[in-house]
Amino acid sequence: MNIASFILPKAEVTYLRDSMTLRQGLEKLRRSGFTAVPVIDVEDRFVGVASEGDFLWNILYYNQKPEDVSAKHLETTSVRSILQGGKMKPVLIDTAMETLLEQATSQNFVPVIDDRSVFIGIIRRSEIIKFFAERGKLL
């Protein structure tokens, strides 16, 4: 089964650029309503996933008290610096649906890349579950 038909393309996905400041990233994440979004570089390669927790733990690490959060820190720190490597692995377009299901057990979406690591979109966990449920394999 080709997973291409399940992909929500990059143009329809909220994502962050790795060079954004923490303030810019937080604003975009807040507007999106999501708790985690893909992060890509200037060449559109997948870099990782940034979550609310990644922002929160970084801010708390550098500011011992919430009232100490400085605008300077939020304006001088990049989104790339808060990413935790390997937390969410991307898949290639030819990945098997069973592999997607395994990954979806621990994350809301699976990032999809091409063979040059360029981010092409995501597959939502709900789409993966729906696929297997319709085939009677999740019951």
70-76: which pairs have CB atoms within 8 A and are 24 or more residues apart?
Answer: 71/23, 73/22, 74/21, 74/22, 74/23, 74/26, 75/21, 75/22, 75/23, 76/21
The rounded distance, in Å, linking the Cα atoms of 103 and 110 is 7
The rounded distance, in Å, linking the Cα atoms of 62 and 136 is 49
Is residue 125 a contact partner of residue 101, using CB atoms and an 8 Å limit?
Answer: no
Q: How confident is the model at residue 139 (pLDDT cuts 50, 70, 90)?
A: very low
Reading across the β-sheet that carries 46-51, which strands appear in turn? Answer: 16-17, 36-40, 46-51
Rounded mean pLDDT, 52-77: 76
pTM beyond 0.95: the answer is no
Is the CA virtual torsion 46, 52, 58, 63 positive or negative? positive
DSSP assignment letter at 16: E
pLDDT for residue 63 is more than 60: yes
pLDDT score recorded for residue 1: 65
What the block records as the tokens of 99 is 């592999």
Is residue 50 a contact partner of residue 16, using CB atoms and an 8 Å limit?
Answer: yes
pLDDT in tens, 95-134: 988 888 888 888 899 999 999 999 999 999 999 999 988 8
DSSP assignment letter at 4: G
pLDDT score recorded for residue 115: 93
All domains in the chain, ordered by first residue: 3-134 (3.10.580.10)
pLDDT in tens, 29-42: 999 999 999 999 99
Identify the residue with better confidence: 8 or 88.
8
